[in-house]
């Protein structure tokens, strides 16, 4: 009597086996559209695009939540490179700030991807949504971000801390981290919105690479899907960066605050639905 060799699957919700990594089927048309939209979002706001890629993969491509997070982080690498190029051409990157943020973010990505398999997301999700809503409220109010002061030791350490939090969220939620970095740079360090977005795009690249390397080792990444999304979003990311450069600071802040609000509401609704589903009696 022979025993069938187990396939590489991971237990999903309710103990149902889920395909891991590249074994999962993909819908090329759906994920290409996700990539185009995510690229434009990334270019406009200096985010990686994961806030759109993750739900797009879960709902449109029927990926598991964990696999979607890992795949999203890989997909934001080429998208963020295109965004960075667009911002750098217009001198909208603060490289000094970006380096300190990146130091913390890379370390955070290691921590976040390690926690991905063991940490319940509900509490983290609620706290994340609260931070987003608080940042949105502040951005809706007129913000005087006319340039940071000179780099000090205290500022450098603060940037590393912001980067650390950003990296942890990137590893856990599959986002590039710009959703945290951009408002933090504007509100805490007085970095003008366009430069904050360009700097965010710079930091996202090493953060996403580190997170992807870690996720790939854990078989939490669908590289083929990530490549399709990344390539589909390159052109629109560059276009979004050009538009961001022409946008006034007030309009930029209002649009970014609106984006934060939408993301927070969607996250809270998703957490509510998952809690209701878990509490519902089995039929």
Tell which residue, 105, 240, 247, 276, has the closest CA to residue 184: 105
Q: Note whether residue 15 is domain-resident.
A: no
Work out how many domains the chain is built from and give that number. 1
Q: Note whether residue 6 is domain-resident.
A: no
Q: Note whether residue 5 is domain-resident.
A: no
Mean per-residue pLDDT pooled into runs of 10, the chain (283 residues): 43 44 66 90 81 80 80 90 92 94 88 71 69 75 68 92 85 71 86 90 88 81 90 92 85 83 81 72 58
DSSP per residue, 125-172: HHHHHHHHHHHHHHHHS-----------HHHHHHHHHHHHHHHHHHHH
Residue 94: its pLDDT value, please? 94
Residue 10: its pLDDT value, please? 43
Q: Note whether residue 193 is domain-resident.
A: yes
User: Containing domain of residue 136, as a range?
Assistant: 26-275
Please compute Rg for the chain using Cα positions: 19
Residue 267: its pLDDT value, please? 74
Residue 68: its pLDDT value, please? 83
Q: Note whether residue 280 is domain-resident.
A: no
Q: What are phi and psi of 19, to 5 degrees?
A: -65, 140
Q: Note whether residue 156 is domain-resident.
A: yes
Residue 173: its pLDDT value, please? 67
d(Cα 45, Cα 138) in Å, to the nearest integer? 17
Q: Is the pTM of this model over 0.85?
A: no
Residue 120: exposed, middle, or buried by beta-carbon count in 10 A (0-12, 13-18, 19+)?
exposed
Residue 9: its pLDDT value, please? 44
Residue 183: its pLDDT value, please? 84
Q: Note whether residue 265 is domain-resident.
A: yes
Q: Note whether residue 13 is domain-resident.
A: no
Sign of the C-alpha dihedral, residues 253, 258, 259, 265?
positive
d(Cα 42, Cα 87) in Å, to the nearest integer? 11
């Amino acid at each position: 009597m022979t025993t069938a060799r187990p396939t590489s699957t991971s237990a999903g919700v309710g103990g149902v086996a889920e395909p891991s990594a590249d074994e999962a089927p993909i819908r090329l048309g759906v994920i290409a559209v996700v990539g185009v939209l995510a690229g434009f979002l990334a270019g406009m706001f200096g985010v990686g695009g994961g806030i759109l890629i993750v739900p797009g993969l879960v709902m449109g491509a029927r990926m598991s939540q964990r696999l979607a997070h890992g795949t999203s982080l890989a997909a934001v690498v080429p998208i963020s490179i295109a965004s960075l190029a667009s911002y750098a051409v217009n001198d909208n990157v603060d490289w000094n700030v970006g380096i300190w943020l990146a130091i913390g973010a890379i370390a955070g990505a290691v921590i976040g991807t390690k926690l991905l398999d063991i940490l319940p997301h509900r509490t983290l999700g609620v706290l994340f949504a609260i931070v987003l809503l608080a940042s949105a409220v502040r951005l809706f109010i007129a913000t005087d971000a006319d340039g940071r002061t000179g780099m000090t030791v205290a500022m450098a350490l603060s940037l590393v801390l912001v980067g650390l939090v950003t990296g942890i969220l990137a590893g856990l939620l599959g986002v590039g981290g710009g959703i945290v970095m951009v408002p933090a740079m504007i509100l805490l360090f007085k970095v003008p919105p366009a430069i904050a977005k360009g700097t965010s795009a710079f930091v996202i690249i090493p953060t996403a690479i580190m997170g992807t390397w870690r996720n790939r080792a854990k078989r939490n990444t669908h590289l083929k899907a990530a490549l399709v999304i990344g390539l589909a979003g390159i052109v629109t990311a560059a276009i979004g960066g050009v538009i961001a450069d022409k946008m006034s600071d007030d309009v930029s802040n209002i649009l970014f605050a609106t984006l934060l609000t939408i993301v927070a509401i969607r996250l809270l609704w998703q957490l509510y639905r998952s809690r209701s589903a878990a509490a519902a009696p089995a039929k």
